[in-house]
Structure 1
Amino acid sequence: MGGHHGGGRRRARELRPPLAAGAPRPRLHAGRGRSRPGQGRRTRWPGAHPGPVDVGSPSAGSSNEGARRRRAARDTPVDGAPPMTGVFRRRVFLRQVEPKRRYDVVIIGGGVNGLSLAYNLAARHGICDVAVFEAGYIGAGASGRNTQVVRANYNTPENVPLYKASLGIWRTLSQELDFNIQFSTQGELDLCHTTDSLEVERDKSLLNQAYGVQTDVVTPEEIAHINPLIDLTAGGSFPVLGASYHPPGSTARHDSVVWGYASAATRLDVHVHEGRGVTGIRVDGDGCTGIETDAGPISAGAVVSAAAGWTSIVAGMAGLKLPISTHPLQAFVTEPYRHLLDGLVSSMDLYVYISQTARGELLVGAEILPYNTYSTRSTFDFLSEAAKRSIQILPFMARARALRQWAGLCDMTPDSSPILGETEVPRFFLMAGMGTWGFKGSPIFGRTMAELVATGRTPELIAPFAPDRFERDRMVPDAASAGTH
């Protein structure tokens, strides 16, 4: 990625992708009129990035100070509370209440899956005496670190209908939650550089079509028509032989989804407790009876772990050992540019995927890293390798500037499929083993798990993903869908 030019205001930059002779060249303009490195970082945002179509300087007659004052004026106190700005504005959406001594259902983990479950319990089953306990702030874990991809092109007869149902919910979720989650259908291209990966995609396409999910195998010529920015030679070293094309592939803004579920759940009197860590799970001869917190013991009719990468630790509190390993997954974004890239582009052999966000950032992710850790520290090795791979596919990215990078935690199962159901400890449930798919499946995971917790009946969609399937030798292997996104 390009280095930083010092001194003064920088000229607008352009990324010029290689196109056929005579074809119009899309132009991406990075931020004009920006400060020197480190100068005015807190105040330069107003007007500097007005939208995904163009990135220009603040409008005439405006100033950073004036814009900052206008922002502060919008932070209206709620119910007499003091005004708040920045990250603390989340209190506008969440009522701060003290935990009760007992709830019908306690959910551990304030990410998108835990909040989806809480909302569905209240909205669909009338169980509103529900509490979500989050050690940090909602969306602080995997939900706020994922790369926003939504798709249904999986590779087993069990996973395809599950994620197809989830995709159906995604399409109307903004209306259901009365919250704009910024859902956008763009399509997904999975490039294949080897005959083996192309065969896998052919098989996946046939399976998807059998379940009514649109996934087509396309030729290099068709790839060029769908997205002419792709270098079909991959830098001259790894030619593209074909791809699978998944038109329903979409994105949704992850923090909007978290806040959509949280606000909808709290309107139904669900309690969401931020900064409340769970220190233990109470179990007696009859099963799970509640949790221990830093605020004291809390009884519950049922306890659900939706703690993502921390699932093994939470399950250990209940005396369970799970076949789950925790791995880091990293991503980075560039500075924002004018809109250019339509849809998600990934490589099945280079293990990289690229999309462009609504703000114009080019978002790049790669494969799950092969070692176990609870660290969310990102690495330069990832940045350099993922940047190199993205340039092989989309050469115009050689002139993009990396803005930030981060890491999240993935809880991986031996078969690369989720764990959804009640454990051997009665009334202790798991929403776990989500790997790289937790965000995509969160609408259907929450809906089906709410039905199980509320009625005791396991919905057909999640029956294959029961926690005891490993003991019964009934695994659902889908590693081909799990490597990156």
Structure 2
Amino acid sequence: MTPAEPTPPGAHLPEHPDFLWDNPDPAASYDVVVVGGGGHGLATAYYLAKVHGITRVAVLEKGWLAGGNMARNTTIIRSNYLWDESSGIYEHSLKLWEGLEEELDYPILFDQRGVLNLAHSLQDVRDSVRRVNANRLNGIDAEWVDPQQVKEICPIVNISPDVRYPVMGATFQPRAGIAKHDYVAWGYARAAARLGVDLIQNCEVTGLDIEHGRVTGVRTTRGRIATGKIALCAAGHSSVLGVMAGLDLPVVSHPLQALVSELLEPVHPTVVMSNAVHVYVSQAHKGELVMGAGIDAYNGYGQRGSFHIIERQMAAALELFPVFARAHLLRSWAGIVDVSPDASPIVGLTPVDGLYLNCGWGTGGFKATPGVGDCFAHTVATNKPHPYNEPFTLERFTTGALVDEHGAAAVAH
């Protein structure tokens, strides 16, 4: 008798996310309430239950799970950051990504196709080589490649010397790549729910109850919930929640646009990013080109953006990839990113006892999902930072111990 083929992770599950977890009513109290049902909130809840044994946890989402930035990003995953603090938490995350499909028993389509960061000037080259050396010192895979090697890795990149910004080389991280954002959220949600976490949708937080400097509960559109610990994972709306606790957080919210093309045959084998022309491009598993650029300059909470950003983004993409000249734009969208003064996240304790903060990821939140979930869960469970998120305290904006990643955030974090 021929042995049966092994069942792939998650193959026995229905495709529709509504069947992967229950939709319970909120209980009267929980040990921990996580505000925000995106990737970071779901991952935090999962690791609280799995690693720390805290299962009386509720994840509150004002809309539907993963309906915010988690489903509105370009899914790039990498860890090739310049500073030790940044590369530490992102490399921790990348290592978790590498085993996440098995961990969650769910297909997340993690594809380590590599990421090219192009250099277009002598200063770009100097900065890029410096970053490669810093990465190697931190044990992160990184290479400097010349224009011909860029062409070998991604044959459709235009390396002609006659363009506005000629390609003078690139950094390359082979272990970097992409994943399917919806599947990541569904995998974490299902795994957390199976450990006893309540995932409560259509439940907007309207107030935080604080007595004598300590958290006692949250007020929501579905009633009050008593708790001694609140973990904020609300991305672009973090400053709104901070005001409820009397905190004026050093973050501002901007729209960040992305778009996809019509379905194409596989032509783009990696991820290409360029700060100079201001675009990053990959090809999704189904075949559409996924493209992003910088944030819209204005502040706001609308999940939409400006036409001129899309126009510049398309012009930049065509400079690098003339082969896409006849491709049609299928759809565009925007997320709401919260940006801190040093373009690095804020993860840790707050002046309010029992209130924990995870925000300020700007455009880099998706790639950090497993790592920050693990570290933030540790912070909430033990009431002290994990070593990887210890540098990203709220206090650094008064002490001056900044982690300035503006160079990494010029296009996408």
| Matched position secondary structure for 1:312 | helix
Structure 2 distance, partners of 1:474, 1:236, is 40
Q: Is the 8 A contact 2:153 2:270 kept in 1?
A: no
Structure 2 distance, partners of 1:377, 1:159, is 29
Aligned to 2:215: 288
In the alignment, is residue 238 of structure 1 matched against residue 176 of structure 2?
no
CA drift of 1:214 comes to 1.3
**What CA deviation, in whole Å up to 9, does each residue of 1:391-445 have, x standing for no partner?**
1001111011110001111100001111000101111000100111111111011
In the alignment, is residue 155 of structure 1 matched against residue 79 of structure 2?
no
In the alignment, is residue 407 of structure 1 matched against residue 362 of structure 2?
no
**What CA deviation, in whole Å up to 9, does each residue of 1:10-33 have, x standing for no partner?**
xxxxxxxxxxxxxxxxxxxxxxxx
Aligned to 2:304: 377
Q: How does 1:41-52 map to 2 (within 5 A)?
A: none
Residue identity over aligned pairs, in percent, reads 37
Aligned to 1:390: 317
Q: How does 1:79-478 map to 2 (within 5 A)?
A: 89-233=16-160, 236-478=163-405
Q: Which amino acid in structure 2 is aligned with residue 167 of structure 1?
A: L
Q: Is the 8 A contact 2:296 2:306 kept in 1?
A: no
Structure 1 distance, partners of 2:365, 2:45, is 16
Aligned to 1:34: none
Q: Which amino acid in structure 2 is aligned with residue 465 of structure 1?
A: F
Structure 1 distance, partners of 2:360, 2:271, is 24
**What CA deviation, in whole Å up to 9, does each residue of 1:220-271 have, x standing for no partner?**
1221222221111387222111111111111010000110000000001100
CA drift of 1:472 comes to 1.4
Q: Is the 8 A contact 2:279 2:411 kept in 1?
A: yes
Q: Is the 8 A contact 1:109 1:132 kept in 2?
A: yes
CA drift of 1:94 comes to 2.0
| Matched position secondary structure for 1:461 | coil
**What CA deviation, in whole Å up to 9, does each residue of 1:288-308 have, x standing for no partner?**
111001122111120011000
Q: Is the 8 A contact 2:13 2:20 kept in 1?
A: no
Q: Is the 8 A contact 1:308 1:410 kept in 2?
A: yes
Q: Is the 8 A contact 1:234 1:393 kept in 2?
A: no
Q: Is the 8 A contact 1:190 1:346 kept in 2?
A: yes
**What CA deviation, in whole Å up to 9, does each residue of 1:430-473 have, x standing for no partner?**
01001111111110111111112112232111110011111111
Structure 1 distance, partners of 2:252, 2:384, is 29
| Matched position secondary structure for 2:395 | helix
Q: Is the 8 A contact 1:421 1:466 kept in 2?
A: yes
Structure 1 stretches lacking a partner, 5+ long: 1-73, 77-85
CA drift of 1:362 comes to 0.7
Structure 1 distance, partners of 2:298, 2:364, is 19
Query: CA 1:326 to 1:119, structure 2 compared with 1: closer, same or farther past 3 Å?
Result: same
Query: CA 1:397 to 1:467, structure 2 compared with 1: closer, same or farther past 3 Å?
Result: same
Structure 2 distance, partners of 1:456, 1:374, is 31
Q: 4+ residue runs of structure 1 moved beyond 6 angstroms? A: none
| Matched position secondary structure for 1:382 | helix
**What CA deviation, in whole Å up to 9, does each residue of 1:302-323 have, x standing for no partner?**
0011000000001111110011
Aligned CA-pair RMSD: 1.5
Structure 2 stretches lacking a partner, 5+ long: 1-11
Query: CA 1:313 to 1:217, structure 2 compared with 1: closer, same or farther past 3 Å?
Result: same
Q: Is the 8 A contact 2:261 2:290 kept in 1?
A: yes
Q: Is the 8 A contact 1:420 1:430 kept in 2?
A: yes
Query: CA 1:381 to 1:286, structure 2 compared with 1: closer, same or farther past 3 Å?
Result: closer
Number of residue pairs aligned between Structure 1 and Structure 2 = 401
| Matched position secondary structure for 1:460 | coil
Structure 2 distance, partners of 1:458, 1:305, is 15
CA drift of 1:219 comes to 1.1
Q: Is the 8 A contact 1:152 1:164 kept in 2?
A: yes
Structure 2 distance, partners of 1:197, 1:207, is 15
**What CA deviation, in whole Å up to 9, does each residue of 1:340-363 have, x standing for no partner?**
100001112111011000000011
Q: Is the 8 A contact 1:234 1:392 kept in 2?
A: no
Q: Which moved more, 1:194-203 or 1:357-366?
A: 194-203
CA drift of 1:199 comes to 1.4
Q: Which amino acid in structure 1 is aligned with residue 339 of structure 2?
A: M
Q: Which amino acid in structure 2 is aligned with residue 240 of structure 1?
A: V
Scaled by the length of structure 1, what TM-score is found? Answer: 0.81
Structure 2 distance, partners of 1:392, 1:115, is 39
Q: Which amino acid in structure 1 is aligned with residue 119 of structure 2?
A: C
Scaled by the length of structure 2, what TM-score is found? Answer: 0.94
